[in-house]
Amino acid sequence: MPRRRSDDLPSISKEDVTIVLPTLNEEKAIGGVIDELLAEGYSNILVVDGYSTDRTVEIAKSKGVKVVYQKGKGKAGAIRTAIETVETPYMLIMDADHTYDPKDIEKLLIPGYDEVIGLRKDKSNVPRLHRIGNKIISSTLSLLIGQRISDPCSGMYLLRTEAARKLEILSEGFDIEAEIAGEMLTQGRVTEVPISYRKRKGENKLRSRRDGLRIMLTVFKVAWLYNPIFFLTAVGSILAIPGIAILFWQLYIRYMYGVEKWSFGWAWLGLVLLVIGLQAFTVATISLLLTRMERRILRYR
């Protein structure tokens, strides 16, 4: 996705942005993060706390920033609460565990986009299993949505508040970033800019296998809800191509070695995969026609 700054659009000032810090037991990092933000000139800072049991809220309030308690579960509940609370034209979501550098925020203040994602270029501080998982998630989301995205799980991203309030957030946990990125890719304009990534302070709350599986399921859900045509086409290809290969393989065996050598079970498997794949293509075609019809009706209303 190209990074492009439009001369026709007004620049985003620091006063136009609310820095949103979702927190849960971040007493080791929150004070330093707020100090860094204030030093960079960001005065609109909102801490959305998930009912921390340590001194997180006490430290945040001592810095003079606004603190609210989230509604709902998990990080998604914090993001939904922030979207309801923020009054500035833009909000920047940023993990409060010291991993993201406030000096990078200015790179994300690009007008004309509904979401600007901080692309973590140096992943040396990202656990290896998380790097592998993020690569799988980004590749899958890019394939199913039909647009390239490299870091949908980044914990620093800018949202246009008006666009954020139109999101249909269904997630509850750490899959919230992938869901927002997927929705924005299909309904708005998204770009990525490189940022740094530091070593975290405090306990890592992401559970690699459990949350990774949840994020993958969210990717498929977003693709199905917001880009069913591409999703069904991908599913049709995944099923139909192996089906055709199996059928040709069995026909070759029957032709070369006789009826007694081929496998009736394998042939049926190939036929079933091919039929289901063709059905997926058919539904995708119908969805495409309905989408075009809807656009024409809206155009001439």
Asked if residue 274 and residue 243 are part of one domain, the reply reads: yes
- Does the pLDDT at position 44 exceed 80? yes
Are 208 and 172 part of one and the same domain?
yes
Q: What is the mean pLDDT of the chain?
A: 84
The model's pLDDT over 164-197, given as tens digits with 9 standing for 90+, comes to 999 888 777 667 888 898 889 888 899 999 999 9
* Whole-prediction pTM: 0.73
pLDDT digits (tens, 9 = 90+) for 57-107: 999 999 999 999 999 888 889 999 999 999 999 999 999 999 999 999 999
77/172 Cα distance (integer angstroms): 6
| 200 plus 287 within the same structural domain | no
- What DSSP line would sit under 243-291, residue for residue? HHHHHHHHHHHHHHH-GGGS-HHHHHHHHHHHHHHHHHHHHHHHHHHHH
- Give the whole-angstrom CA distance, residue 263 versus residue 253: 9
Do residue 153 and residue 214 come from a single domain? yes
Neighbours of 121 (CB within 10 A): 12
Expressed as residue numbers, the domain containing 159 is: 14-226
CA distance 186 to 137: 17
The region of weakest confidence among 93-107, 221-235, 270-284 is 221-235
Rounded Cα–Cα distance for residues 54 and 64 (Å):
18
Of 186, 201, 226, which marks where a domain is finished? 226
- pLDDT mean over 15-41: 96
Cβ atoms within 10 Å, residue 128: 8
Last residue of a domain, one of 226, 243, 264: 226
Backbone φ and ψ of 193, nearest 5°: -130, 145
Q: What total number of domains does the chain contain?
A: 2
One domain, residues 247 and 212: no
Using a 10 angstrom Cβ sphere, with 0-12 exposed, 13-18 middle and 19 or more buried, the burial of residue 269 is: middle
Q: What is the CATH number of the domain that holds 73?
A: 3.90.550.10
